[in-house]
Structure 1
Amino acid sequence: MSAKVTILFLCTGNSCRSQMAEGWAKHLKSDVLNAYSAGIETHGLNPNAVAVMKEAGVDIFSHKSQLLSDFDDIDFDVVVTVCGHAHETCPYFPGNAKIVHVGFPDPPALAKELAAQGASEEEQLACYRTVRDEIKAYVATLPESLGL
């Protein structure tokens, strides 16, 4: 493959999963991917996502939560929806963008459920670490797994 694949990771709020995916793509695959992330809405950058990515040696602190419309001028080769809501509401992309859905669990929702059951902060962070590692494993397969 001679040209880099331009990829967008899309989630509802661009606060956690899509940010992790962008971070991993830039960290692991910057030689073959131009990676971006956006949301249908913006919810701000999740501090727990930042913390667990930093633990893994990936700094996403400078990322910001962005809207899909912030990237109207970019022709994406691939749009990966990383949550069910984004997949269900994924807008039409002009051109030849391939839309792929790879759903990952929602760490804030999982952590909230655990907190309601009396889980410690460390146990809640484990949700973020698990999803972080699942996203890393997926990103490691790119771009080959996309069948472009």
Structure 2
Amino acid sequence: MTNKSSVLFVCVANAARSQLAEALLRHTDSEHFEAFSAGTDPGGVDQRTIEALEHLGVSTEGLRSKSIDGFEGKRFDYVITLCDKSALECQALPSAGEVLAWNFEDPVTSTKPEAFRHTLHEIHERIKMFVLVKTKR
């Protein structure tokens, strides 16, 4: 039995945002949190996701695209959706103590230069705040 809070990050394809969030939470505070990610319609991890994480020195070990169905029956302390579409599909999500809806632009479909690094930075800032708030006990 672990004292860590379990966190599931969800987006549609489980290709970028939820992968970034999973890796960043592990990197930021693996002492208090156990991070997972899944997609409502997974399609494979985008190579640029891996490159953005490696550029920041964050481990990408074990990252792979997973379906939300693989977590059926598992309970999470937090389920965090990373896009409006997955937030709308929340009914299909595993049970959670708390559901949070964060909305980040999908870097896969973005035309902006540096979209992956920008999304990585935005998610990292949100995760640092999440860790700060949730570990103040």
Moved segments of 4+, more than 3 Å = 92-96, 143-148
Aligned equivalents of 1:45 and 1:134: distance in 2?
Answer: 19
Alignment of 1:141 with 2:121, yes or no, is no
Alignment of 1:41 with 2:29, yes or no, is no
Percent identity, please. 25
Structure 1 match to 2:115: 127
Q: Which moved more, 1:62-71 or 1:128-137?
A: 62-71
- TM-score, structure 2 as length reference: 0.88
**Residues 74-113 of structure 1: pairs in structure 2 closer than 5 A:** 74-91=74-91, 95-111=95-111
Deviation for aligned residue 1:93: 5.0
**8 A Cα contact 2:73 2:94, kept in partner:** no
**8 A Cα contact 2:10 2:37, kept in partner:** yes
**8 A Cα contact 2:14 2:43, kept in partner:** yes
**8 A Cα contact 2:87 2:101, kept in partner:** yes
Deviation for aligned residue 1:90: 1.2
Q: Which runs of 5+ in 2 are unaligned?
A: none
Report the secondary structure of 1:140's partner residue: helix
**8 A Cα contact 2:12 2:40, kept in partner:** yes
Q: Which runs of 5+ in 1 are unaligned?
A: 115-122
- TM-score, structure 1 as length reference: 0.82
Aligned equivalents of 1:80 and 1:87: distance in 2?
Answer: 9
| Structure whose alpha-carbon radius of gyration is higher | 1
Letter in 2 for 1:145: V
More strand by share: 2
Structure 2 match to 1:11: 11
Aligned equivalents of 1:93 and 1:32: distance in 2?
Answer: 23
Q: Which moved more, 1:94-103 or 1:32-41?
A: 94-103
Structure 2 match to 1:117: none
Alignment of 1:32 with 2:61, yes or no, is no
**8 A Cα contact 2:82 2:103, kept in partner:** yes
Alpha-carbon displacement from aligned partner over 1:84-119 (angstroms, at most 9, x marks no partner): 1000111255655211101111101113xx5xxxxx
Aligned residues: 135
CA RMSD, Structure 1 to Structure 2 (Å)? 2.1
